Amino acid sequence: MSDLHLHNSYTRQKEKFEALVPGHVGLYVCGPTVSGESHLGHARPYITFDIVYRYLRHLGYRVRYVRNITDAGHFEEEGREAEDKVSKKAQLERMEPMELVHKYTNLYHWGMHRFNCEEPSIEPTATGHIIEQINMIQDIIAKGYAYEVNGSVYFDVKKYAETYPYGKLSGRVLDDLLETTRDLEGQDEKRNKVDFALWKNAPPEHIMRWTSPWGEGFPGWHIECSAMSSKYLGETFDIHGGGMDLLFPHHESEIAQSTIAHGHAPVRYWMHNNMITINGKKMGKSYNNVIKLTELFTGEHPMLEQAYHPMVVRFYILQTHYRSTLDFSNEALQASERAFRRLWEAYEVLQELQHPGNTVPADGELDGQVRTWCHECKEFMDDDFNTAKVIANLFEMAPVINGIKGGQVAAGALSADTFALLQDTFKTYLVDILGMQAMQEQQTDKLDKVLALLIEMRKDARTRKDFATSDQIRNKLAEAGVLLKDEKDGTVSYTIE
Partner RNA sequence: GGUCGCGUGGCCGAGUGGCUAGGCACAGGUCUGCAAAACCUCCUACAGCGGUUCGACUCCGCUCGCGACCUCCA
Q: Check: CB of residue 116 under 8 Å from CB of residue 439.
A: no
40, 312 in Cβ contact below 8 A? Answer: no
Closer Cβ to RNA, 19 or 266, answer by number:
266
- The alpha carbon torsion through 65, 70, 71, 76 (nearest 10 deg) reads -150
Q: Which is nearer to RNA, 244 or 496 (CB)?
A: 244
Q: How far is the CB of 89 from RNA (least distance, A)?
A: 25
- Cis check: omega of the bond before 219, within 30 degrees of 0: no
C-beta of 10 vs 19, nearer to RNA: 10
2 vs 192, beta carbon nearer RNA: 192
- The distance of closest approach from Cβ of residue 23 to RNA in the complex, given in angstroms and rounded to an integer, is 28
Instruction: Please say which residue, 35 or 116, places its beta carbon nearer to RNA.
Output: 35
Query: What CA dihedral angle connects 354, 360, 363 and 368, to 10 degrees?
Result: 100
HSE, side-chain direction, 13 A CA sphere, residue 110: 13
What are φ and ψ of residue 302, in 5° steps? -55, -30
Closest distance of CB 275 from RNA, Å? 4
Q: Measured from the CB of residue 171, what is the shortest distance to RNA in angstroms?
A: 3
| Least distance from RNA to the Cβ atom of residue 108, Å | 10
Closest separation between CB of residue 360 and RNA, Å? Answer: 22
48: helix, coil or strand?
helix
Determine the Cα–Cα distance for residues 16 and 443; give it in Å rounded to an integer.
45
Whose Cβ is closer to RNA: residue 144's or residue 399's?
A: 399
| Burial classification of residue 479, based on how many CB atoms lie within 10 Å of its CB (0-12 exposed, 13-18 middle, 19 or more buried) | exposed
Nearer to RNA, 209 or 341 (CB): 341
CA 91, CA 100: separation in Å to the nearest integer? 14
Nearer to RNA, 233 or 343 (CB): 343
**Closest CB 98 distance from RNA, rounded Å:** 19
DSSP state of 202: P
CB of 177 to RNA, least distance (A): 5
User: How far from each other are the two terminal CA atoms of the chain, in whole angstroms?
Assistant: 43
Rounded-to-integer distance, Cα 277 and Cα 242, Å: 16
